[in-house]
């Protein structure tokens, strides 16, 4: 299990380095096609502004979009007490507990660091789970906090959005006549080559970014399952909870594609073939359950 955790961490870091290099390459191609050295610095500034804004406000935006509210101990005593107890066991500051009034069982963690973390669960999950199962789910989310997955995945999502924005900018600039031959820059052939490369990147970049985001998110879910089981010392609790979530057919009404990767299970309940699974941000629940029961 320790080898799996270490391997997931290093593979995720390698994917992020590849992602950053890809982002820089797109900016370089855009600058060459437009023959404007200001494009690359401008792209970096936009990315930094998006990252900083998301760093400080993404948790508030997510909670508002999901219509989440603070969980009161008088209304949800088991949930609030479990968050406090598992934070103490993990050696973390107590995350702020939130709830979503929805019958679909699900949960997620968000925030920029353990000192500003939130753990949110649906009322459906709280009502459906027994104490050990609820602790298993909370331990999974606590592991996302402890492993800094909440910050890591937030930054990945920002980079995906920045690449999509840059690709869209490039595409519309070309359609509106922004790319013209500059004979004074060395002739039309070289310009056309950069133009073809740029168009290819504008089409493939968002797809590649989504694939990388999905791959990283899947690895982080496996890591959080293992870390959460270590925290409670009872893998069966989380395995049983995932079984109940798998059997529930209800999608989460306030979920969307932008926030789906945050949850312990895909809240959209989308299923498809091998092509759709490439973009799935969650591993198959049956696979996660099997791994937990092998621990």
d(CA 163, CA 21): 12
Phi, then psi, of 74 in degrees rounded to 5: -70, -30
d(CA 10, CA 8): 6
Among 34, 133, 135, 141, the one annotated catalytic: 141
| Sequential DSSP letters for the chain | -HHHHHHHHHHHHHHHHHHHHHHHHHHHHHHHHHT-TTHHHHHHHHHHHHHHHHHHHHHHHHHHHTT-EEPPTTT-HHHHHHHHHHHHHHT-PPPEEEEE--SS--EEEE-SSGGG-EEEEEHHHHHH--HHHHHHHHHHHHHHHHTTHHHHHHHHHHHHHHHHHHHHHHHHHHHTT-----GGGT-HHHHHHHHHHHHHHHHHHHHHHHHHHHHHHHHHHHHHHHHHHHHHT-HHHHHHHHHHHHH--PPPTT--TTTGGGBSS-TT-----HHHHHT-SS--HHHHHHHHHT-
Task: Assess whether 84 carries a catalytic annotation.
Answer: no
Question: Looking at the annotation, which residues are catalytic?
Answer: 141
């Amino acid at each position: 299990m320790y080898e799996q955790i270490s391997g997931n961490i290093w593979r995720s870091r390698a994917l992020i380095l590849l992602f950053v290099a890809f982002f820089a390459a797109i900016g370089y191609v855009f600058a060459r096609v437009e023959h404007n050295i200001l494009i690359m610095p401008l792209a970096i500034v936009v990315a930094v502004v998006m990252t900083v804004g998301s760093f400080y406000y993404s948790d508030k935006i997510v909670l508002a979009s999901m219509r989440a509210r603070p969980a009161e101990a008088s209304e949800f005593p088991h949930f609030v007490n479990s968050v406090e107890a598992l934070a103490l066991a993990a050696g973390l500051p107590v995350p702020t507990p939130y709830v979503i009034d929805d019958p679909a069982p699900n949960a997620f963690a968000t925030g920029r660091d353990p000192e500003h973390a939130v753990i949110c669960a649906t009322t459906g999950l709280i009502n459906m789970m027994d104490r050990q199962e609820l602790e298993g789910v909370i331990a999974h989310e606590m592991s996302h906090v402890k492993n800094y997955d909440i910050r890591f995945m937030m930054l990945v999502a920002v980079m995906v959005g920045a690449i999509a924005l840059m690709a869209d900018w490039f595409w519309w600039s070309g359609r509106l006549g922004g790319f013209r031959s500059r004979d004074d820059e060395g002739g039309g052939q070289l310009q056309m080559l950069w133009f073809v490369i740029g168009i290819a990147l504008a089409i493939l970049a968002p797809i590649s970014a989504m694939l990388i985001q999905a791959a990283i998110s899947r690895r982080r879910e496996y890591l959080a399952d293992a870390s959460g089981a270590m925290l409670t010392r009872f893998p069966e609790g989380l395995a049983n909870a995932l079984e109940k979530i798998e059997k529930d057919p209800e999608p989460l009404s306030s979920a969307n594609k932008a926030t789906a990767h945050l949850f312990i299970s895909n809240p959209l309940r989308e299923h498809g073939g091998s092509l759709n699974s490439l973009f799935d941000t969650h591993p198959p629940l049956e696979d996660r359950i099997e791994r937990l029961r092998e621990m």
